[in-house]
């Protein structure tokens, strides 16, 4: 019977997704002239961070953002705004 709670795997995946986004945000470059945030990390950096934090990295939790990708801008076209 469904209890209304997330499964253990789903909650771990959600926690890793949040940790990956927080890691990318913490190392992003904020351009105040263009009002955008640019990623300065690779997926390999995120995977190594998740491995050191959780002991393993769920690949579905790693967002596909590379160095130079706009993750947030004033027009709502960033990678984390879609």
What confidence score (pLDDT) does residue 65 get? 84
What confidence score (pLDDT) does residue 20 get? 93
**pLDDT tens per residue across span 54-67:** 998 888 888 888 88
Residue 82 belongs to some domain of the structure = no
Residue 2 belongs to some domain of the structure = no
Quote the domain boundaries for residue 51.
11-73
Residue 16 belongs to some domain of the structure = yes
**What is the C-alpha to C-alpha distance for residues 37 and 17, in angstroms, rounded to an integer?**
19
Nearest to 53 by CA among 10, 12, 6: 12
Alpha-carbon dihedral 47, 66, 18, 5, rounded to 10 degrees = -80
Residue 3 belongs to some domain of the structure = no
Residue 78 belongs to some domain of the structure = no
Q: What tens-digit pLDDT sequence spans the chain (82 residues)? A: 556 677 888 888 889 999 999 999 999 999 999 999 999 999 999 999 999 999 988 888 888 888 889 999 999 999 988 7
Q: What is the pTM of this model?
A: 0.84
- The tally of domains found in the chain comes to 1
Residue 80 belongs to some domain of the structure = no
């Amino acid at each position: 019977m469904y209890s209304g709670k997330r499964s253990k795997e789903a909650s771990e995946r959600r926690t890793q997704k949040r940790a990956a986004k927080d890691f990318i945000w913490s190392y992003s470059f904020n351009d105040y002239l263009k009002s955008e945030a640019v990623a300065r990390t690779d997926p390999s950096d995120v995977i190594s961070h998740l491995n050191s934090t959780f002991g393993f990295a769920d690949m579905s939790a790693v967002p596909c953002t590379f160095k130079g990708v706009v993750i947030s801008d004033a027009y709502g076209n960033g990678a984390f705004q879609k």
